[in-house]
Structure 1
Amino acid sequence: MKRSVLKFGGSSVADFMKIKEIAGYLKSRIEQDEQLIVVVSAMGKTTDDLLASVSHLTADPNDMDLAMLLNTGEQQTISFLSLALNDMNVRAKPLTGYQAGIETTGKHLKSKISSIKTDFLEELFDSHDLLIVAGFQGFNKAGELTTLGRGGSDTTAVAIASALDCPCEIYTDVTGVFSTDPRIFPEAKRWEKISFEEMMEMSALGAGVLETRSVELANNHNIPLYLGKTLSKEKGTWIVPNDQMLERKAVTGVALDKEMAHVTITYPLETKTFLTDLFIKLEEAEINIDMISQIQNQDGLQLSFTFKESEERELNQLFDALKESYTNLYVKIETTYCKLSVIGAGMRDMTGVASKIFKTLLASDIPFYQVTTSEISVSYVVDEQNGEKATRLLCQAFNL
């Protein structure tokens, strides 16, 4: 019997009508002699609404309480979908992350999956046609509820598929992987296939289609991964191993990350101890930083890096703690920038890509402030007001 993991995002289950339609689709799959594990997100903007409600109670919530609260969003969805399926005579079983045996490590709101107890899932298939698992959530060794961070339902789905060694289909409100966001550049091309390597780079650089860890998991465990539009007959995109890509373009996509902030740190005194303390605290807080640049001269240290805006509260707390020991520390956080990235595995073997990017931006008088490169990407910090314009220009320049 064919087995697959299917994941439906928040926009796909945003209201009861959509949940009923998905239930009907799942019933048709079951009738084709399939076994399904369905992973769902919270309905619509439920997670955002839950976070907003916290401000009525406290300005400084602790992570354990937040994780407990946020777990309730997905629990609503698994219950509603199970109710709809059982009403259609489909033997469905809703499971929280705890019940599904998704054990995690790390901080309550940024946990990583350490193991999944598949024996219980296998047993349930003896008496059920379909299992519905709450995405985004798990539990730690202390038995406390945890969450996997933004996009965590993608990671849940691929982790279960990896544990059960079956394909994973992720359904959302887009029809596949495009060369860039079609809302910015309507002529963007949709790819039938893209490599794991390029998809990981695009996700990490802000494309927002798939969570980076989910793509990495699929790649590590060789899990077929499909991205398509919910209940659409349009073909989506298969993310495949690099060796299955017969033709490599110099550039596959342009990613624009608007949820990025930029920090500049100035410290005039001896810097070795300060830098050690800074990076220890960043590691302890599990804050990811990018595009790091450092200048050391007679005036002291100037260090700059980018980070996700969603981590600004934690970063400010970190700097407040550092200022208690380093009173001459000056920190400036700016949110008026964005990160523009050009991605393509063909960059390794083709020359002229960076030159074309520079010439395109310069010709349109678009300034850039920091540049970083990897083997298959080039990223720029540009003014937020120029981000979408630059994206369109680069898509046109590379025929994307």
Structure 2
Amino acid sequence: MKRSVLKFGGSSVADFPKIKDISLYLKERIEKGEQLIVVVSAMGKTTDNLLASVHDLTDNPNDKDLAMLLTTGEQQTISFLSLVLNDIGVRAKPLTGYQAGIETIGKHLKSKISSIKGDLLENLFEEHDLLIVAGFQGFNKEGELTTLGRGGSDTTAVAIASAMQCPCEIYTDVTGVYSTDPRIFPEAKRWDQISFEEMMEMSALGAGVLETRSVELANNHNIPIYLGKTLSDEKGTWIVPNDQILERKAVTGVALDKEMAHITITYPSHDRQFLSDLFKLLEDAEINVDMISQIQNQDGQQFSFTFKESDEKELIRLFNALKETYPDLYFKIETTYCKVSVIGAGMRDMTGVASKIFKTLLDADITFYQVTTSEISVSYVVDEANGEKATRLLCQTFNL
């Protein structure tokens, strides 16, 4: 019997009419002989509203309590969807992350999936045609509820598909993977296929289509992902292993990350212990740093890196704590920049990509402050005001 994991995002289940329409669609697939595991997000802006309500109570919420609260959003959705499905004759079973056996490790609000009890889900199919799993959540070894961070429902879906060794279909409000955000560049091309490698790079560099960890999981376990628009007949995009891509372009996409910030740290000493303590604190706080640069001179050392804006409060707390040990430490955070990245697996074998990018930005008088490269990407920090302009120009340059 054919089995698949389907994931529906928050916009797809934003109201009751949409939940009813999805239920009818799922019933059609069940009647064709499929077994389905459906992963859902919280309805619409539920998570944002829950966070807003917390701020009315406290400015310093406890992570354990916050995780407990945020998991209720997805639990609402699985309940509503199961109510409708059972009412129309589908044997559905709603499961929280805990009930689905999704074990996690790490911080309560940034957990990572360590294991899933696939045999538990397998046994449930003996009495049910369809399982509905709350995305974004799990439980740790202490039995406490945890969340997987932004985009965590994508990770839940792919992790379950990996455990059950079946394809994963992710449905949202976009029709597949585009060369860039169509809201910025309406002429953006939609790809029928894209490699895991390119999708991971695009996600990590700011393209908000899929959560990076979900693509990493799919790549590690060779699980194809289909990304399509909810209840649409329009063709979406398959994300597949690299060796299944027949034709490679030098450049596949341009990603714009507006949710980045930049910090400059100055310390009037060459004390290596300072850097050791700094990176230990960053590691303990699970703050990802990017685009690192360092300058050493006779006055001491200057160090800078980019990071996600959502980590700003935690980073300020961390540096204020560090100043207790290193009182001469100075740091400055700026949020007026963004990162523009050009991605393509074909860069490995084709020359001239970097020179085209430099020429495009220079001809448009767009100043860039930092540049980093990988095998298949080149990223530039530019002024936030120039981010969308740079994205459009680069798409035109590479015919995307």
Q: Which amino acid in 2 is paired with 1:12?
A: S
Aligned positions of 1:305-324 closer than 5 A: 305-324=305-324
How far apart are the structure 2 equivalents of 1:152 and 1:107? 14
How far apart are the structure 2 equivalents of 1:366 and 1:49? 38
Following TM superposition, by how much is the alpha carbon of 1:62 offset from its aligned partner in structure 2, in angstroms?
Answer: 1.5
Q: Could you tell me which residue of structure 1 aligns to residue 50 of structure 2?
A: 50
1:365 paired with 2:350, answer no
Following TM superposition, by how much is the alpha carbon of 1:313 offset from its aligned partner in structure 2, in angstroms?
Answer: 1.4
How far apart are the structure 1 equivalents of 2:356 and 2:135? 42
How far apart are the structure 2 equivalents of 1:20 and 1:181? 29
Aligned positions of 1:339-354 closer than 5 A: 339-354=339-354
CA RMSD of aligned residues (A): 0.6
Following TM superposition, by how much is the alpha carbon of 1:316 offset from its aligned partner in structure 2, in angstroms?
Answer: 1.1
Q: Could you tell me which residue of structure 2 aligns to residue 259 of structure 1?
A: 259
Q: Could you tell me which residue of structure 1 aligns to residue 329 of structure 2?
A: 329
Q: Deviations over 1:124-171 (max 9, x none)?
A: 111111000000000000000000000000000000000000000000
Following TM superposition, by how much is the alpha carbon of 1:320 offset from its aligned partner in structure 2, in angstroms?
Answer: 1.2
Q: Could you tell me which residue of structure 2 aligns to residue 20 of structure 1?
A: 20
SS of 1:120's partner is: helix
Q: Deviations over 1:261-309 (max 9, x none)?
A: 1111111123311100000000001100100000111121111101111
How far apart are the structure 2 equivalents of 1:72 and 1:314? 25
Q: Could you tell me which residue of structure 1 aligns to residue 206 of structure 2?
A: 206
Aligned positions of 1:141-152 closer than 5 A: 141-152=141-152
SS of 1:107's partner is: coil
Q: Could you tell me which residue of structure 1 aligns to residue 30 of structure 2?
A: 30
Count of residues in correspondence between the two structures: 400
| Percent identity (aligned) | 85
How far apart are the structure 2 equivalents of 1:86 and 1:5? 19
How far apart are the structure 1 equivalents of 2:316 and 2:40? 33
1:300 paired with 2:297, answer no
Q: Could you tell me which residue of structure 2 aligns to residue 196 of structure 1?
A: 196
- In structure 2, the gaps of 5 or more residues are none
Q: Could you tell me which residue of structure 1 aligns to residue 165 of structure 2?
A: 165
1:186 paired with 2:215, answer no
How far apart are the structure 2 equivalents of 1:46 and 1:302? 42
Q: Deviations over 1:236-273 (max 9, x none)?
A: 00001111111110000000000111111111123311
How far apart are the structure 1 equivalents of 2:287 and 2:125? 39
How far apart are the structure 2 equivalents of 1:20 and 1:300? 63
Q: Which amino acid in 1 is paired with 2:172?
A: T
Q: Could you tell me which residue of structure 2 aligns to residue 138 of structure 1?
A: 138
SS of 2:388's partner is: helix
Following TM superposition, by how much is the alpha carbon of 1:204 offset from its aligned partner in structure 2, in angstroms?
Answer: 0.4
Instruction: Kindly report structure 1 stretches of 4+ aligned residues shifted beyond 4 Å.
Output: none
Q: Which amino acid in 1 is paired with 2:177?
A: V
Following TM superposition, by how much is the alpha carbon of 1:334 offset from its aligned partner in structure 2, in angstroms?
Answer: 0.8
Q: Could you tell me which residue of structure 1 aligns to residue 395 of structure 2?
A: 395
Q: Deviations over 1:6-25 (max 9, x none)?
A: 00001101111111111111
How far apart are the structure 2 equivalents of 1:277 and 1:86? 55
Q: Could you tell me which residue of structure 1 aligns to residue 68 of structure 2?
A: 68
SS of 1:138's partner is: strand
How far apart are the structure 2 equivalents of 1:21 and 1:181? 27
Q: Could you tell me which residue of structure 2 aligns to residue 176 of structure 1?
A: 176
- In structure 1, the gaps of 5 or more residues are none
Q: Which amino acid in 2 is paired with 1:239?
A: I
Q: Could you tell me which residue of structure 1 aligns to residue 242 of structure 2?
A: 242
Q: Which amino acid in 2 is paired with 1:278?
A: L
SS of 1:119's partner is: helix
1:116 paired with 2:116, answer yes
Q: Which amino acid in 2 is paired with 1:379?
A: S
Q: Which amino acid in 2 is paired with 1:3?
A: R
How far apart are the structure 1 equivalents of 2:8 and 2:123? 24
SS of 1:150's partner is: coil
SS of 1:340's partner is: strand
How far apart are the structure 2 equivalents of 1:19 and 1:336? 40
Aligned positions of 1:97-116 closer than 5 A: 97-116=97-116
Aligned positions of 1:6-17 closer than 5 A: 6-17=6-17
How far apart are the structure 1 equivalents of 2:57 and 2:355? 53
SS of 1:65's partner is: helix
How far apart are the structure 2 equivalents of 1:109 and 1:296? 36
How far apart are the structure 1 equivalents of 2:119 and 2:222? 21
Q: Deviations over 1:44-80 (max 9, x none)?
A: 1111111111111111112111111100010000001
Q: Deviations over 1:334-354 (max 9, x none)?
A: 111101000000000111100
Q: Which amino acid in 1 is paired with 2:82?
A: S
Q: Deviations over 1:164-212 (max 9, x none)?
A: 0000000000000000000000000000000000000000000010000
Q: Which amino acid in 2 is paired with 1:202?
A: M
Q: Which amino acid in 1 is paired with 2:388?
A: E
Q: Which amino acid in 1 is paired with 2:76?
A: Q
Q: Which amino acid in 2 is paired with 1:308?
A: K
